[in-house]
Chain A
Amino acid sequence: MNHHRIKVLLIEDNPTDARLIQESLSEASDDPFDLETADTLAGGLQRLSAGGVDAMLLDLALPDSFGQETFVRAKAQALGVAIIVLTGMHDDTLALKLVQGGAQDFVAKVDVSGNNLTRAILYAIERERLEQEFRKLNEELEKRIWDRTSELEAANRELEAFSYSVSHDLRAPLTHLHGFSSLLLDNHASQLDEQGQRYVRKIKDGVLRMSSLIDDLLTLAKVSRQELRRCEISLNSLVEEVMKDLESETSEREIRWLVGSLPMIECDRGLMRQVLVNLLSNAIKYTRKREHAVIEIREDVIDGKKTIVVKDNGVGFDMKFADKLFAPFQRLHREKDFEGTGIGLATVQRIIHKHSGRIWADSQPGLGATFYFTLGSEITNQSTKLTAQVVPA
């Protein structure tokens, strides 16, 4: 910059001050400045719009504008032009305010001398240049973020459309398959022999299984897209609520529930409910062959972290398959022994991960399974004491 002539626009209505500044600038060692003067803001802004100005020396008290307003109006039209505000008095508060608003410097007229004005202008120009560069980089970055966000939003919309069509269009043919198979059995059984009827029943079973697979997959997909709506809830009352929901599965079973004193937790209630429904109905399902089923839910501290523990005395699983446990469609038991789609624990894991938590399991075949989960730092209330209470199944 220093090798070119530097165009400085002075907006100042007081001829004495204007002359003072003009003289100060010409005193500067290598006199790099071309100075133009305007005595109103309007005149100054008109000159500014003609272009070529590198820096502006701006008096705030002008015939057509006063104070901070003068600066705001000048700044609005001076993109890339360094503004140095001139003032008759010391006013640090105003100075700071203007610098925050984008002025490059603030010089009191009483302090004006050739060297410090020259330095102020040169540094102001340099700062303005850096600021412009920074702004440009920032704009580019913002544009890239914007583009990426739009791409992601588009992908998300496509995914929404896809799951919508899965929800609607894939289910419709299933209702037909099931409906007409049922009608075949109800109204035309006489035309089918025993084996034929068995085949039709198999078709119906297959349809219902397909239908629950679709439902579970949609739930899994929804969990991934859904935003968390966090609130503080009592884990004990949620557990109670879920146990009531599962009554149809437990009414004819003898299950001893050991529910400890559980903490208040900060989480998405609907999603946490799904976690508990999955973990507890798994515990109910896999203890089915036990005469005395015991299901325990308590809080513990593991590796210094508050952890929720769900433990059953069911069939358990072999730990060498532990890594498959949370993968979608992975099942460790035969459908014949224990029904299921293999999506439940995948959903549970996604929900826990969404809460920045961790879930893992521990088991030995025949000796039951224990599931542990943390919720990042969200388990709020200190209550680690196990006060067992037996809830009749």
Chain B
Amino acid sequence: MNFESAPQPIDILLVEDNEADVRLTQEVLTDSKVRNNLIVANDGAEAMACLRRQGKFQNSARPDLILLDLNLPVKDGREVLAQIKEDANLKTIPVVILTTSKAEEDILRTYKLHANCYITKPVDLDQFVTVVRYIEDFWLAIVKLPSNHKS
């Protein structure tokens, strides 16, 4: 498949409290064919601050895609998801749940909260790379999203 290369890098918000997971996702995204800026929020409260450009995130770009872990300290992923999807300005940003959980209750609950998709992070790194490529291909190249105002 041949995708038009984006004129400007894609902004991805990764909401993940575990440093090792952040590092692995960074590694995988560094090799990506889609130019991207990765913004990391370490818990739910930080994620909301980032999305609302508060505090240290005052100058952050509005992300094109959110990768959201579920079990987070302070404010957990389900709450973050609910708040994003209740917010008229934020709800158009696709939220990909990326978690190690395969639990059916998590899957059902997050879709009920309007998650855009739910992906179980594979244990195998090669498979994880494949999954991230699919996420990029699908959400950043195949689908048409509403044009957002990045200002």
Given contacts A164-B101, A175-B24, A211-B124, 12 further A-B contacts (CB under 8 A): A164-B105, A168-B70, A171-B101, A172-B100, A175-B100, A175-B122, A175-B128, A179-B20, A179-B27, A179-B128, A181-B125, A218-B102
Within 8 A of B (CB), among A169-206: 171-172, 174-176, 178-183
How near does chain A come to B122, taking the closest CB pair, in angstroms? 8
- The complex places the Cα of A208 from the Cα of B99 at a distance, in Å, of 17
Chain B 98-133 per-residue mask, 1 if CB under 8 angstroms from chain A, else 0: 011111011000000000000001111110100000
A-B contact pairs, 10 of them (CB 8 A): A167-B102, A167-B103, A171-B102, A171-B123, A172-B21, A175-B121, A175-B123, A179-B125, A181-B125, A207-B123
**How many B residues have CB within 8 A of the partner chain?**
21
One of A163, A168, A176, A208 near B124 (C-beta < 8 A): A208
Within 8 A of B (CB), among A187-242: 207-208, 211, 215, 218
- A208 and B123 form a contact (CB under 8 A): yes
Q: Does B42 contact A (CB under 8 A)?
A: no
A-side contacts of B125, CB under 8 Å: 175, 178-179, 181-183
Residue of B nearest to A170 (CB): B100
For B24, B99, B128, which residue has the most chain A Cβ atoms within 10 angstroms?
A: B24
B-side contacts of A172, CB under 8 Å: 18, 21, 100
One of A163, A168, A176 near B20 (C-beta < 8 A): A176
For A171, A172, A176, A179, which residue has the most chain B Cβ atoms within 10 angstroms?
A: A179
Interface of B toward A, CB cutoff 8 Å:
18, 20-21, 24, 27, 70-71, 99-103, 105-106, 121-126, 128
- B100 and A180 form a contact (CB under 8 A): no
- B123 and A167 form a contact (CB under 8 A): no
How near does chain B come to A52, taking the closest CB pair, in angstroms? 57
B-side contacts of A211, CB under 8 Å: 123-124
- B24 and A168 form a contact (CB under 8 A): no
Residue of B nearest to A163 (CB): B103
For A164, A176, A180, A207, which residue has the most chain B Cβ atoms within 10 angstroms?
A: A176
How near does chain A come to B73, taking the closest CB pair, in angstroms? 14
How near does chain B come to A98, taking the closest CB pair, in angstroms? 51
- The complex places the Cα of A183 from the Cα of B27 at a distance, in Å, of 9
Residue of B nearest to A175 (CB): B123
A-side contacts of B102, CB under 8 Å: 167, 171, 215, 218
- B71 and A178 form a contact (CB under 8 A): no
- A174 and B123 form a contact (CB under 8 A): yes
How near does chain A come to B109, taking the closest CB pair, in angstroms? 12
- The complex places the Cα of A175 from the Cα of B71 at a distance, in Å, of 15
B-side contacts of A174, CB under 8 Å: 123
How near does chain B come to A322, taking the closest CB pair, in angstroms? 33
A-side contacts of B106, CB under 8 Å: 168
Residue of B nearest to A215 (CB): B102
Residue of A nearest to B126 (CB): A182
